[in-house]
Structure formats: structure tokens, C-alpha cells
């Protein structure tokens, strides 16, 4: 039984990433990878074509990451000020939620959902806190939160 050399056109779990050359059994190649367009036969022209595609993809990814990094810098420059009713020893009634932070960011013209916001510690008293805003898998902005007593 001969092995076949293929170039992956997409990431395939437990096999490899797009653009890699892999060696697989002929049946796996013929019955699964090639019909689903996960891979193509490895020849010189296909290798060059995939490399060209990967370079274009890398440029697009870098431009996208650059845009997310600039948004992250703008978010990190902000401080969310939230006024809450307080009781004894500066404890607030309830807690600060991601929905409140999302509302503030939307008012500041940022396209962020509350699912992207992670409060690092439970906010139960007045003071300064931080939250993480996951803009991209590789870009996380740290947002400053100031909780104060409402009058």
C-alpha cells in the first residue's frame, strides 16, 4: 500500500494546518480529504499556488490584527465610571455586570458584545477594577472600571 502526498487546503484536526504537506493512506485521501476539498495532490504548481494564497492570507490577517490593536489602545485609554447605590462599608447593591460595561462601550461607539467582556474579579464594593475585552483571539484590551457611590 503506497502513501499519498497531499497539500492541505484547510486546517484538518489531528492531521495538520492549511498549506502543510502531509502523507496519508490512499483511501483516506480519495474518500475523505480530496472530495471535501480539504486537500489536493502535492505537485509543484499546487505548492506554489498554496504558498501564494498563504502570503495573501497572512497580509490580510496582519491588517486585521493591526486594526484590532488600534481599537484595543482606544479601549485601554478609557475608564468606565459606574455609579451604584452603596450600603455599609462601601458595599454596592448587586454587582457590576458585563451588560453595564457593554452599554458604556456602545455609547463610546465600540462594536462590542457583552460576551466579549470578562470581568476579572467580582465587583461588590466601590473602587477601581479591570475587565478584559476579547476583540480577537490574539488581541485583548484591558478596560479600567471605577465604581463610585451614587448620591
pLDDT in tens, 100-117: 999 999 999 999 999 999
DSSP string of 9-37, one letter each residue: SS-BTTTB-TT-EEEE-HHHIIIIITTTT
Any idea which fold 4-69 has?
Answer: Ribosomal Protein L9; domain 1 (3.40.5)
Residue 151 confidence (pLDDT) above 80: no
CATH match for 70-149 among 1.10.8.60, 3.40.50.1400, 3.30.1120.80, 3.10.430.100: 3.10.430.100
User: How many angstroms separate the CA atoms of 74 and 102, rounded?
Assistant: 15
What is the pTM (predicted TM-score) of this model?
0.66
pLDDT, the chain, mean: 89
Local confidence band at 1 (pLDDT 50, 70, 90 cut-offs)? low
Q: What is the mean pLDDT of residues 126-134?
A: 92
Q: Domain ranges for the chain, please list them.
A: 4-69, 70-149
Question: Cα 63–67–72 angle (5° rounding)?
Answer: 145
Amino acid at each position: 500500500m503506497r502513501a499519498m502526498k497531499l497539500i492541505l487546503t484547510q486546517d484538518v484536526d489531528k492531521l495538520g494546518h492549511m498549506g502543510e504537506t502531509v502523507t496519508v493512506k490512499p483511501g483516506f485521501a480519495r474518500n475523505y480529504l480530496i472530495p471535501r476539498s480539504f486537500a489536493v495532490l502535492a505537485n509543484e504548481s499546487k505548492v506554489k499556488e498554496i504558498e501564494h494564497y498563504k502570503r495573501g492570507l497572512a497580509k490580510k490577517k496582519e491588517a486585521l490584527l493591526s486594526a484590532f490593536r488600534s481599537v484595543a489602545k482606544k479601549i485601554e485609554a478609557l475608564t468606565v465610571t459606574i455609579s451604584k447605590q452603596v450600603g455599609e462599608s462601601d458595599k454596592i447593591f448587586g454587582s457590576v455586570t458585563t451588560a453595564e460595561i457593554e452599554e458604556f462601550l456602545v455609547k463610546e461607539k465600540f462594536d462590542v458584545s457583552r460576551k466579549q467582556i470578562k470581568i476579572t474579579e467580582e465587583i461588590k464594593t466601590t473602587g477601581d477594577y479591570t475587565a478584559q475585552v476579547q476583540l480577537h483571539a490574539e488581541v485583548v484590551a484591558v478596560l479600567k472600571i471605577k465604581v463610585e457611590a451614587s448620591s
